């Protein structure tokens, strides 16, 4: 099962490589990883998407917690949460297909950021599955480039991940 | 007080109560060595190879419980230390390793003797630091000692660029009494509810066993373990790392468990209905085949590291905390409880265990015309009256030492369990001897292992650490040879060395006493002679039966109940190798 693990980690050089190193050393897989500084400049927030059995996820969270730089973490899959990913897609498009792509972007609530006579760049956010669906709806030979940020997430309700 | 970076390092170590630094100088640490030269409080032990420094510090730490301290230079000095750091990491030994680094401005430029020490050691340290600011140096050192010695202990590396120790740059110095790290608060006491549940389960057990490991040694909980076990009357087995935490000569002790554990320990584990694992981590050398591990048991697990719990074996009742306070709380609950362990059930359980004991799985051929390695260890035990600190290298001799030297006290058995590092024994023995100059220290080793750090014989002379080296010489990498015999139809691929040095001459060349023993009847007198030479390091080259194997054995892929025992105990096993 897919798990989104949110981590508050000391904003220090090497902290990211401790997390990445842990995953490679112990043979866990990382589907995506995003990291940026928080409103408290001493902390970074990392969102890590991984898959594994319950036992593996339990080990992953324990091993992450064991890293001295990790301050706190939660597995978002354990509660109701919102998941978002940002994607930009460059699509080859001329003549008739231009209208088609535009309406497709509308259906998926995407925005067209860049237009040339032969291409569009479409921006889209949503759960990763929605972005997958958009890609699947576009003819593969018209895709020039796909850039995805990896998922981030936040829990619903008043509770939050902070110190 | 205004000090430069180099002085801060040494003063901090002094304020931390460090007696010895084990190290080797080089370019990036010259400022530090100059600061060492100008004081006498912290003594520096000059090794002959950085791996030796780490093992010596490690041996010192294992014997004393205090953190071992290492100082190495950048580049090759740092990489040479990595094996020893990984060794300490696998066995959770508190160490602080200070490595020099090239000056900050040239980091990343492939400067002379530059290596990314923080990167290289990341997977084998509890934590590491790169110091970027001399004003943070004292605090970083304090943090390193705090992390290394609390929770589940482990090695911590402090990488210090050369400009940080520049003698011209002085800052005000104050060694912090305490540090807090907001992201690091190891659980100590254990959850009360979990402890209660554990005790309830223990008191209903019919076939209980206590499986205790290195955590009891590290957590200084030997006394509590003994109280706990003797109040309950349960059998106790120790892991390789836990030997000595429960007295091996006590009648409740059923021996070591696992791959080369006793028949009775492994059978009792297999048949048990309630296991309490105390500071042990269900290592693969202990469990054997996981699917067949303890099929009837409900398991309680006390460990300070939550990640050790249910890592390989699912447990029913986990208790996260230091073994000492947790055992104390359990003992109180047991004493206060109206329910007592069933006398009848325990009696029949002990009867069963005695039947397994009757197999005498550690018997060997005592009539052999060759020197049996087991006999040497038994004689070593007698000559040292069971009081010696025994270090070992890795292989057959290590298992024999664990099996035939019954340790009654913790911290007396010093070996590389998790990483299995050949070359550990001699430098570790030097570290132990420095800590306990009046105690007998023996290094049980083999002809292959001893050659991996043999250069430390020179260190032993320089610092007058008269250890006794018991070299069980069978001209083979014995354990490799044994596996090749069992699993590769005796194709002894590269487990034999055509040339082995004359150890007696080698020992003499290093300024020590060399002795060669090749007859069983000479073993005892030679040991007595060696241990009588209180002020000399003695290298005893003992030519043992080359064909001897370690039994019992759980071959790989098998369960506890499926042990290979010595064929026909008591019959002669003298034979020629195929």
Distance from the Cα of B444 to chain A's closest Cα (Å) equals: 33
Q: In chain B, what residues touch A25 (CB-CB under 8 Å)?
A: 123
Interface test with B, best of A68, A70, A71, A162 (most B CBs within 10 A): A68
Chain B positions in Cβ-Cβ contact with residue A59 (cut-off 8 Å): 307, 311
Nearest-CB residue to A10 (from B122, B183, B306): B183
Query: Are B560 and B288 within 8 A, CB to CB?
Result: yes
Active-site residue, selected from the candidate residues B162, B324, B433, B468: B162
Mutate to test the interface with A, among B120, B148, B183, B318 (most CBs of A within 10 A): B183
The three-state secondary structure class of B468 is strand
Whether B197 is a known active-site residue: answer no
CB contact under 8 A, B130 and A163: no
| Contact (CB, 8 A) for A5 and A35 | no
The closest alpha carbon to B282, from B260, B313, B321, B317, belongs to: B313
Which of A14, A62, A71 has its CB closest to that of B306? A62
**How confident is the model over B387-410, as pLDDT tens digits?**
999 999 999 999 999 999 999 999
The rounded distance, in Å, linking the Cα atoms of B106 and A140 is 48
Model confidence pLDDT, tens digit, residues B327-352: 999 999 999 999 999 999 999 999 99
CB contact under 8 A, A21 and B127: no
Nearest CA in chain A to B181: A68
- Euclidean distance between CA atoms B494 and B491, whole angstroms: 9
Closest partner residue to B181 (CB to CB) among A13, A21, A68 is A68
Per-residue pLDDT reduced to its tens digit, A10-42? 999 899 999 999 999 999 999 999 999 999 999
C-alpha torsion sign, points B388, B386, B212, B202: negative
Nearest Cα residue to B471 out of B436, B533, B429: B429
pLDDT of A162 > 90? The answer is no
**DSSP of B229-265, one letter per residue?**
HHHHT--EEE-GGGTTSS-TTSTTEEEE-STT--HHH
Q: What is the pLDDT of residue B577?
A: 63
Within an 8 Å CB–CB cutoff, is residue A59 touching chain B? yes
* Residues B278 and B254 sit within 8 Å (Cβ to Cβ): no
pLDDT of residue A136: 96
Is residue B113 annotated as part of the catalytic site, yes or no?
A: yes
Compare all CA atoms of chain A with the CA of B131 and give the residue at the minimum distance: A13
* Cβ B465 vs Cβ B439: under 8 Å: no
User: And the tokens for A29?
Assistant: 């897989």
Q: DSSP string covering B195-216, please? A: HHHHHHHHHH-SSEEEEE-HHH
Tell me which residue has tokens 């390091």.
Answer: B537
Record the tokens describing residue B457, joined without a space: 């014989």
Task: Please check whether residue B249 touches A, CB under 8 A.
Answer: no
Show residues of chain A in contact with B306, CB under 8 Å: 62, 65-66
Taking CB atoms and an 8 Å limit, are A25 and B123 in contact across chains?
yes
Do the chains contact at B184 and A68, CB–CB below 8 Å? yes
Average pLDDT over residues A144-162: 94
Catalytic residue status for B162: yes
Taking the C-alpha atoms of residue B28 and residue A161, their distance in angstroms, rounded to an integer, is 43
Is the alpha carbon torsion for B184, B185, B188, B191 positive or negative?
A: negative
Structure confidence at residue B498 as a pLDDT band (50, 70, 90): confident
Chain A contact present for B181, CB below 8 A: yes
Which residues in A lie closer than 8 A to residue B127 (C-beta atoms)?
68
Residues B227, B225: Cα–Cα separation, whole Å: 5
**Nearest residue in A to B117, CA atom:** A14
From the CB of residue B535, how many other CB atoms can be counted at a distance below 10 Å? 6
Nearest CB to B122 within list A10, A18, A72: A18
B 21-80 residues inside an 8 A Cβ radius of A = none
Pairing of strands A43-51, A81-92: unpaired
Total Cβ atoms within 10 A of residue B95: 30
Token digits of residue A161: 């991940």
Question: ipTM exceeding 0.90?
Answer: yes
Q: How confident is the model at residue B574 (pLDDT cuts 50, 70, 90)?
A: low
At residue B568, the pLDDT reads 54
Nearest CA in chain B to A18: B122
| Cβ-Cβ contacts under 8 Å, B147 against chain A | 68
User: How is residue B434 written in tokens?
Assistant: 């420095």
Is the Cβ pair A68, B130 closer than 8 Å?
A: no
The string over A12-48, giving b where at least 16 C-beta atoms fall within 10 Å of a residue's C-beta and e elsewhere, is eebbbebbeebbeeeebebebbbbeeeeeeebbbbbb
Separation in Å, CA of B139 to nearest CA in chain A: 16
B352 flagged as catalytic? no
Number of CB atoms found within 10 A of residue B550's CB: 21
Q: Which residues pair with B543 in a beta bridge?
A: B473
Share of chain B above pLDDT 90, in %: 96
B511 touches chain A (CB under 8 A): no
Residue of A nearest to B180 (CA): A68
3-state secondary structure (DSSP) of residue B127: strand
In this complex, do B183 and A71 lie within 8 Å of one another by their Cβ atoms?
Answer: yes
Q: Which residues of B touch A63 (CB under 8 A)?
A: 307
**Whether pLDDT at B7 is above 70:** yes
Pick among A66, A67, A72 to test the B interface (most B CBs inside 10 A): A66
The whole-angstrom distance between residue A108's C-alpha and the CA centroid of its chain comes to 18
Instruction: State residue B569's pLDDT score.
Output: 43
Helices and strands of chain A, counted as H and E runs: 4, 9
Residue of B119, B127, B311 with shortest CB distance to A68: B127
pLDDT recorded at residue B556? 84
Banded model confidence at residue B576, pLDDT cuts 50, 70, 90: low
CA pair distance A50, B188, nearest whole angstrom: 31
> B311–A59: do the CB atoms touch at under 8 Å?
yes
Question: Which residue of the set B16, B22, B50, B51 is catalytic?
Answer: B50
**Chain A residues whose beta carbon lies within 8 Å of the beta carbon of residue B307:** 59, 62-63, 65-66
**Residue B126 forms contact with A (CB below 8 Å):** yes
pLDDT at B567: 72
State yes or no: is B422 an active-site residue. no
**Mean model confidence pLDDT for chain B:** 96
The token pair that represents B4 in the structure block: 């430069």
pLDDT at B566 over 90: no
Residues B34-57 pLDDT 10s? 999 999 999 999 999 999 999 999
Tens-digit pLDDT profile for residues B156-165: 999 999 999 9
B183 touching chain A per CB within 8 A: yes
Contact B119/A66, CB-based, under 8 Å? no
- Residues B136-145 have a mean pLDDT of 98
Closest residue of chain B to A71, computed from CA coordinates: B183
Token pair, residue A73, equals 């973490």
Residue B317 has pLDDT above 50, yes or no: yes
**Judging by DSSP bridges, how do beta strands B389-392 and B298-303 pair with one another?**
unpaired
Say whether B76 sits in a helix, a strand or coil.
helix
Cβ of A68 within 8 Å of Cβ of B311? The answer is: no
Residues B372, B547 contacting (CB under 8 angstroms): no
Longest dimension (CA), chain B: 76
pLDDT tens for B174-212 read: 999 999 999 999 989 999 999 999 999 999 999 999 999
Q: How does pLDDT run across B459-473, given as a tens digit for each residue?
A: 999 999 999 999 999
pLDDT digits (tens, 9 = 90+) for B257-281: 999 999 999 999 999 999 999 999 9
Task: Single out the residue of B110, B173, B182, B117 nearest to residue B146, CA to CA.
Answer: B182
Beta-carbon contacts below 8 Å between A and B:
38
> Model confidence over A62-111: pLDDT tens digits?
999 999 999 999 999 888 999 999 999 999 998 888 999 999 999 999 99
């Amino acid at each position: 099962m897919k798990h989104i693990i949110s981590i508050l980690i000391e904003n220090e050089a090497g902290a990211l490589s401790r997390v990445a190193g842990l995953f490679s050393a112990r043979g866990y897989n990382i589907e995506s990883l995003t990291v940026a500084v928080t409103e408290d400049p001493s902390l970074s927030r990392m969102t890590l998407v991984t898959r594994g059995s319950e036992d593996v996820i339990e080990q992953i969270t324990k091993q992450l917690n064991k890293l001295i730089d990790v301050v706190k973490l939660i597995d978002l899959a354990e509660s109701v949460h919102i998941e978002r990913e940002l994607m930009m897609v460059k699509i080859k498009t001329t003549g008739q297909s231009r209208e088609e792509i535009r309406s497709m972007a509308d259906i998926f609530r995407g925005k067209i950021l860049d237009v040339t006579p032969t291409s569009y760049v479409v921006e889209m956010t949503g759960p990763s599955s929605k972005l997958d669906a958009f890609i699947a709806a576009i003819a593969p030979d018209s895709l020039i480039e796909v850039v995805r940020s990896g998922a981030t997430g936040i829990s619903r309700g008043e509770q939050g991940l902070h110190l | 007080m205004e000090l430069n970076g180099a002085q801060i390092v040494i003063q901090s170590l002094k304020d931390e109560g460090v007696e010895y630094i084990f190290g080797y100088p080089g370019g990036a640490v010259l400022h530090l060595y100059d600061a060492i030269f100008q004081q006498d409080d912290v003594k520096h032990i000059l090794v002959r190879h950085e791996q030796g420094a780490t093992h010596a510090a490690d041996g010192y730490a294992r014997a004393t419980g205090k953190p071992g301290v290492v100082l190495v230079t950048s580049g090759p000095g740092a990489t040479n230390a990595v094996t020893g750091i990984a060794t300490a990491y696998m066995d959770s030994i508190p160490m602080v390793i200070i490595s020099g680094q090239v000056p900050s401005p040239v980091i990343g430029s492939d400067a002379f003797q530059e290596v990314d020490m923080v990167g290289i050691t990341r997977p084998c340290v509890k934590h590491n630091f790169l110091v970027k600011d001399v004003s943070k140096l004292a605090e970083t050192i304090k943090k390193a000692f705090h992390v290394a010695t609390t929770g589940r202990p482990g090695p911590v590396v402090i990488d210090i660029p050369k400009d940080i120790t520049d003698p011209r740059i002085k800052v005000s110095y104050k060694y912090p009494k305490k540090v807090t790290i907001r992201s690091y608060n190891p659980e100590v006491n254990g959850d009360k509810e979990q402890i209660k549940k554990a005790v309830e389960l223990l008191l209903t057990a019919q076939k209980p066993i206590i499986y205790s490991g290195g955590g009891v040694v590290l957590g200084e909980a030997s006394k509590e373990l003994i109280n706990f076990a003797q109040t309950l009357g349960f059998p106790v087995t120790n892991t390789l790392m836990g030997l000595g935490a429960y007295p091996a000569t006590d009648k409740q002790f059923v021996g070591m468990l696992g791959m080369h554990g006793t028949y009775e320990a492994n059978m009792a584990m297999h048949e048990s209905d309630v296991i309490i694992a105390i500071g042990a981590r269900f290592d693969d050398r202990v469990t054997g085949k996981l699917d067949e591990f303890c099929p009837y048991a409900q398991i309680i697990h006390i460990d300070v590291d939550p990640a050790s719990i249910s890592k390989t074996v699912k447990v029913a009742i986990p208790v996260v905390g230091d073994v000492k306070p947790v055992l104390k709380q359990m003992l109180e609950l047991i004493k206060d409880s109206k329910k007592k362990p069933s006398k009848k059930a325990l009696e029949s359980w002990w009867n069963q265990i005695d039947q397994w004991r009757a197999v005498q799985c550690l018997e060997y051929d005592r009539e052999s015309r060759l020197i049996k390695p087991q006999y040497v260890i038994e004689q070593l035990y007698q000559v040292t009256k069971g009081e010696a600190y025994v270090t070992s290298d890795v292989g057959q001799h290590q298992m024999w030492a664990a099996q035939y030297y019954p340790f009654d006290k913790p911290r007396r058995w010093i070996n590389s369990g998790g990483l299995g590092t050949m070359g550990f024994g001699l430098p570790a023995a030097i570290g132990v001897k420095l800590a306990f100059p009046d105690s007998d220290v023996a290094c049980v080793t083999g002809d292959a292992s001893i050659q991996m750090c043999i250069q430390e014989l020179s260190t032993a002379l320089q610092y007058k650490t008269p250890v006794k080296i018991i070299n069980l010489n069978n001209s083979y990498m014995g354990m490799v040879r044994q596996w090749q015999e069992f699993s590769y139809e005796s194709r002894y691929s590269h487990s034999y060395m055509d040339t082995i040095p004359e150890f007696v001459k080698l020992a003499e060349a290093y300024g020590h006493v060399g002795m060669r023993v090749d007859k069983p009847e000479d073993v005892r007198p030679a040991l007595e002679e060696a241990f009588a030479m209180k002020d000399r390091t003695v290298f005893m080259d003992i030519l043992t039966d080359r064909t001897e194997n370690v039994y019992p054995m759980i071959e790989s892929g098998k369960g506890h109940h499926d042990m290979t025992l010595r064929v026909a105990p008591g019959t002669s096993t003298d034979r020629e190798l195929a």
